[in-house]
Amino acid sequence: MNRVRAIIFSRGAARATPCAGWPTVSNRMSTTTNSNAFVDAARSTAASGSVVYEGERAVHEYLQFHFGSTDEVLPHDCGPADALGFPKRCASLCAEALVTTETSPPLPLSSSPEREKDQLTGEGGEGQTYKAGRSNRRPLRALDVGCAVGGITFELTRAFDEVVGVDFSASFVEAAERMRVEGRTQYEYLEQGSAVFRREAFLPEGTVPSRARFSQGDACSLDVKALGSFDAVLASNLLCRLPKPRSFLEDLPALVKPGGVAVLISPYSWLKEYTPTSEWLGGFREGGDADKQDGEYVDSFDRIRSIMEADDAFELERRCSMPFLIREHARKFQWGCSDGTVWRRKS
């Protein structure tokens, strides 16, 4: 039987310094340092500007974002708890689309980690997949665009036989590969000021690292012929960090099999540091007087819809909010609410 595959590409050109030579940390215990090098390596990814993906801190923050415990990411009894577990919820959205295709009825999307585990896994350890079961469906391939340090990649191994994570950043890919090979990796997170804690990230229980592999790649210039076609393509918080997002979207008809899905998740945070204004898909006005802001407003979703529906390629099947939370330090966070859309490829 052919193996199911998923491939992931990244949101930005992070070139963080590889995390190496840290002291051993066991049993999830943390140590404290005053790591000015870490604090000053780059602004938090909760800030704006291209520099945020170019330092060691970006790798650490994404390791915490993808693998940190809920109590660590949100250490307060207040705050947007429904924004936790973003990698699981992204994988769940893809798995539900698979279930919609192969079985009926589809599984409901839930922000509850316990319910998501029930949706995506069966009883038992390695080799278990979502409850639709491998025996009653054909082999499926998926391409997940935007792996960063691999959290969504590993969550997808619950539902796919092979998951390939591809990111523009060598440092992100290196961190993801350490997780795949060793099942754990160390990262640092900021508590206050210059006080930094070290912690270990572990692979989520029930994921299957033997089904994952990672490499570098550019989402704006995919080798479509080499990649082949897929039953599902996921791009998570990617579009507004690409220099040419339209190029990626225009590759989707060739990448997604008839009847398959493209899952796009984006907060539409357009910034000229990442995307030239001429390449923005929305968030601006056309015509009129620029100083008076009286032109016609262009909404990102509407422009994306026009691209996706061109030549009768896709139809919108589902739209939902996908909140996420990235911790900057113990009392400062980036909360976002991405627009999640599922597009079914027409025959």
Domain boundaries, the chain: 5-345
Task: Note the pTM of the prediction, 2 decimals.
Answer: 0.79
pLDDT of residue 25: 27
Is 60 exceeded by the pLDDT of residue 155? yes
Is 60 exceeded by the pLDDT of residue 331? yes
The pair of three-digit structure tokens given for residue 223, joined into one six-digit string: 């080798």
Fold classification of 5-345 (topology level): Rossmann fold (3.40.50)
Q: What does the alpha-carbon distance between residue 163 and residue 155 come to, in Å, rounded to a whole number?
A: 10
DSSP state of 51: G
pLDDT in tens, 196-232: 999 999 999 999 998 888 888 899 998 888 888 888 8
Mean pLDDT for 175-202 is 95
Q: What does the alpha-carbon distance between residue 163 and residue 271 come to, in Å, rounded to a whole number?
A: 30
Is 50 exceeded by the pLDDT of residue 30? no
pLDDT of residue 107: 35
Bridge partner list, 196: 33, 190
Q: What does the alpha-carbon distance between residue 332 and residue 340 come to, in Å, rounded to a whole number?
A: 25
Bridge partner list, 233: 143, 262
Q: What does the alpha-carbon distance between residue 152 and residue 219 come to, in Å, rounded to a whole number?
A: 17
pLDDT of residue 119: 40
Is 70 exceeded by the pLDDT of residue 323? yes
The pair of three-digit structure tokens given for residue 222, joined into one six-digit string: 């995919």
The pair of three-digit structure tokens given for residue 85, joined into one six-digit string: 């577990």
pLDDT in tens, 33-78: 555 555 555 455 655 544 455 468 899 999 999 999 999 999 999 9
- Quick count: other Cβ atoms within 10 Å of Cβ 69? 14
Instruction: For residue 254, give the amino acid letter.
Output: A
Integer-rounded Cα Rg, in Å, for the chain is 20
- The Cα-based distances of 155 to 184, 241, 314 in angstroms read 15, 23, 26
Scored b (16 or more CB within 10 A) or e, 125-135 reads eeebbbebebe
Nearest CA-CA partner of 205 in 147, 120, 139, 133: 120
**120 against 137, higher pLDDT:** 137
DSSP state of 36: H
Q: Considering the chain, what is the average pLDDT of its residues?
A: 79
- The Cα-based distances of 183 to 53, 121, 195 in angstroms read 24, 19, 27
The pair of three-digit structure tokens given for residue 290, joined into one six-digit string: 């620029």
DSSP state of 183: S
Laid out side by side, the sheet with 332-345 consists of 142-145, 230-236, 256-266, 332-345, 314-329
Per DSSP (E only), the strands in 18-91 are 31-34
**136 against 255, higher pLDDT:** 255
Nearest CA-CA partner of 157 in 188, 179, 185: 179
